[in-house]
Chains A and B, each alone.
Chain A
């Protein structure tokens, strides 16, 4: 397969052109605009699938990549170079991301034709969706941090617009602003990190950053008393914290559920929040160099655990999924922290698939539950129950995804999450500082299984608790835009697509030698590998002969010494057994509490009432931010600045300048009135009037008088001459 501008650029440009054209179609030709968006998305999906298939089935090499760039602008001089390059960088990770994003986005576009059809702003939704998708794909294709940042902010804008999509709903506007401002906190640090890297590397291309790391360019550089690698890595990780909703900036994601459910599925579950983790993975060598992995593991573990606990008590079906998303993102960050690079990325992909499906299923439920008294859709789980019979397709799709996210064997969540937990366990046996994240991860795994099955049981099982609502719900028939996306996504929750071994442990495998294709394809960027790397100019010549790229092969011992490899396998097996046990324990608890009703949930609430209140208040993060930081720090600072602005600057500088102007005005006014008007203008008139008085007597009108005057003048003239 050849790569040129016509096979790669459409991935980004098709949705973008759809967005541009859609702006003009949105009012009058809504249906055409929707069709255009969906078609563009499908075309983009085809292009991405070609690249993915070529990378995985033809090349099948960890070292293979495409890197093309062109100079965007060059405003530097000899002494101070300042050149900004833009380009694409596709390796196996980017190719997999491309396939996931385009696939999930296309299915969500399809589902939205069902979900948003009756909405007043049906067309506008697709405008934002197209823009968002093109920005996300641009981010994945980017070869440098600057264009990542640009697309990152574009996605932030789309997220803002879509959260506030139902702006007439109370709280939606505030939620969108909250999301934008909270991620902005992380973005400021991200930009700082880009600047810090720029000072060292001279540009922000991934490859050059790796190369500089490999050459030791970051060593012994300090900024503000800490190593520059730590500073830059921390700053970029703060971008991840903001975008991927990690502690302490996780507060925006639950509020983001004000948006339409398909946009929650696409933006706040599958792609945008995963972009933060993607950035962390890209910048992993820098974070490792900066010694940040322990801290990242802790942040990930705390996020996974905290969000899972809050999800335990949520009653809104979308809120459960929102906290579950935060929790799963915490797992990915934990995976980055414990160094299980490909497992974190695998979890990103598997999570994107099953969480998109879960959100779409939730959307399918919400859309069909219509309250006839308030004319609103119902999201509260206490009013559901027994919906299994009404919505069989949605039930099965959601069931598969729930099994996947709970970590039940043979489903994708088990494969990916278990590897993260296994690696955390290995790290914990090596360094005691990793025990905390590992324990938090395992406990959160149990709670994940519990709250997901609690959601399933409350929604689909038991007797309908709101009989009126239940009776008004239509029975679900199969429709291509409602159920097909769900079923396609739920098929891809099987673990077999991600790992050919049945248990996900590389023990029993059913495919050929590529049974661990994911594990072998995605590997940590090794900075020393890039030291001989030459960048390729734009032009798509064949970059290197294929002989330079050996086929990837799965090494069961990971290239480690025998006893170490044995230890790794042993710990992975322990981790697998533990996580299976924990997952089934969580499911069992949910079963006893919500199906058998043997254990009353109210008992837990009463016994741990203080914890229950803390969970209801989301660990008081919002109270702390609003009551503490905003009220106590930011508003006084705002008042002080306002005093400076109004009391000092306005009063002395602005009003002082006004005083000066008034004095100048008075002087010029006097000059104008007195000198110009009175002396100049009126003086001219007065002089004319004066000469008029003198000369008037000569104008008698008598011709003989004129004659006399003439003679007198002539006589005078003659006498003067003589």
Chain B
């Protein structure tokens, strides 16, 4: 049986990957992918702790909620990206400067 630390390590690895993708990439779709990674890290964290600490179903249910919200967020985010592409002909994050003075 795998220990708690190994689960948390994987979760941490996913979270850091998500952060790096989200901050380093200039493609908006890539940023959305980074956000999905962070959310998955969160969901894994929930599942891990409910398995090792709580011993009940709370974490599982919250993980399901996270997945559902991630799906909804991906749908909204991609819709925004498509609309942004229609306006700017680009998916580069630095082109979103309309509110910049």
Contacts and interface: CB of A to CB of B under 8 A. Distances in A.
B19 A703 contact: no
Interface string B9-35: 000000000010011000000010000
A702 B94 contact: yes
Interface stretch (A119-127, A437-445, A678-686, A704-712): A704-712
A559 interface: no
A586 to B, nearest CB: 118
A704 B97 contact: no
B73 to A, nearest CB: 16
A701 interface: yes
A701 B96 CA distance: 9
B23 A704 contact: yes
Interface string B31-43: 1000000000000
Contacts of A708: 23
A711 B101 CA distance: 25
Interface in B77-91: none
Interface of A: 701-704, 707-708, 711
B93 A704 contact: yes
13 contacts: A701-B97, A701-B99, A701-B101, A702-B93, A702-B94, A704-B22, A704-B23, A704-B31, A704-B93, A707-B22, A707-B23, A708-B23, A711-B23
Those 8 A-B pairs whose CB atoms lie nearest each other, nearest first = A701-B100, A704-B23, A708-B23, A707-B23, A707-B22, A711-B19, A701-B97, A704-B93
A63 to B, nearest CB: 111
Contacts of B94: 702
B97 A703 contact: no
Nearest to A703: B93
Nearest to B19: A711
A716 to B, nearest CB: 15
Contacts of A711: 19, 23
A703 B95 CA distance: 11
A704 B28 CA distance: 11
Contacts of B100: 701
Contacts of B22: 704, 707
B75 to A, nearest CB: 20
A701 B100 CA distance: 6
A344 B19 CA distance: 129
A701 B93 CA distance: 11
Contacts of B97: 701
B1 to A, nearest CB: 29
Contacts of A702: 93-94
A707 B96 CA distance: 15
A702 B97 CA distance: 8
